[in-house]
Structure 1
Amino acid sequence: MGGCCSGCGKFCKDFKDFAIQGNVMDLAVGIVIGKAFGDLVQSFVSDLLLPPFGLLFGGVAFTNLTVKMHNFAYPNNPPVVLRYGAFIQHFIYLLVVAFGLFCVIVLVKRLREMREQQKAQEYTPVPEPSEEIKVLMEIRDLLGAKTEARV
């Protein structure tokens, strides 16, 4: 009386198993870190990178760069505003994020190559002995067996 159908219990168990798996948790952590990284880059672009450029262009803030298009068809309506400064800011943001991701990908690639080189050095396979060495080893083993039989 106090529960639901048996299918619901199985569903809840399956969902719990899915949610606790490492992949889902890794994805959740990645999304949170990605959001924080995005906010950091957005602040870097809008608060640190673009203001000096704004000074070079006469002390203007990029977000305030607009073009007003007067509405000739409906003169009583406000003009249409194209905010190309905000577009420039978002484009620079995209370039900074792309460069950051490029650096991370190159770093991960180099770390993997270094690890593969270390593994290759650690696990150098022993070469197969030549036929002459095999014959000499056989003779050695026979002589050893013969010596042990005499003792």
Structure 2
Amino acid sequence: MLNEFKDFIAKGNVMDMAVGIIIGAAFTAIVSSLVADLINPFIGLFMGGIDFTNMYVVLSGEVAAGTSLEAAREAGAAVFAYGAFIMAIINFLIIAFVVFMLVRFVNKVKDQATPSAPEAEEAPAGPTELEVLLEIRDSLAKSA
């Protein structure tokens, strides 16, 4: 069983996956910062200063108007934090777009790196399958 585990870990796909997960975690931190620090302020500016992260509805409990989401949660109120969901959607769309652009770029680089096949010269026309079979038949008929 230990040898099977070693074989599994040593396969290239597992190592590639591990590297992908690590880079993905770092990439998530970058995208989260991009959204929180750069994109949200512009969205808030265009939406009249609205901050999505503090949008919520109090389901139960006492919370003063204008209280931040974090403070409402600390007060023990049950809140429906739809602003956090909106931010998750925005994060997803940004990550999906960046991954799309990355894959598109990699595909272009691959296409440019792959040498195009030179025009294949037409091979001289040889005998067809039927002609070869007829020759074999005639050869067999002569020898018989």
Match of 2:135 in 1: none
| Post-superposition offset of 1:101 | 1.4
Match of 1:108 in 2: 106
Structure 1 vs Structure 2 CA RMSD: 2.5
Q: TM-score, normalised by structure 2?
A: 0.64
Number of residue pairs the alignment of both structures matches? 112
Larger radius of gyration: 1
Matches within 5 A, 1:1-151: 11-69=1-59, 80-116=78-114, 118-121=115-118, 124-129=119-124
Structure 1 unmatched ranges of 5 or more: 1-10, 72-77, 132-151
Which contiguous aligned blocks of 4+ residues in structure 1 show a shift greater than 3 angstroms? 55-60
Distance, in Å, in 1 between the alignment partners of 2:113 and 2:120 is 17
Q: TM-score, normalised by structure 1?
A: 0.61
Task: Choose 19-28 or 107-116, whichever is displaced more.
Answer: 107-116
Distance, in Å, in 2 between the alignment partners of 1:30 and 1:88 is 27
Query: Counterpart amino acid of 1:86?
Result: A
Distance, in Å, in 2 between the alignment partners of 1:96 and 1:41 is 8
Distance, in Å, in 1 between the alignment partners of 2:42 and 2:104 is 30
| Post-superposition offset of 1:36 | 0.8
Q: Identity of counterpart residues, as a percentage?
A: 40
Distance, in Å, in 2 between the alignment partners of 1:107 and 1:82 is 40
| Post-superposition offset of 1:21 | 1.7
Structure 2 unmatched ranges of 5 or more: 62-75, 127-144
Distance, in Å, in 1 between the alignment partners of 2:15 and 2:55 is 42
Distance, in Å, in 1 between the alignment partners of 2:85 and 2:34 is 16
Query: Counterpart amino acid of 1:29?
Result: V
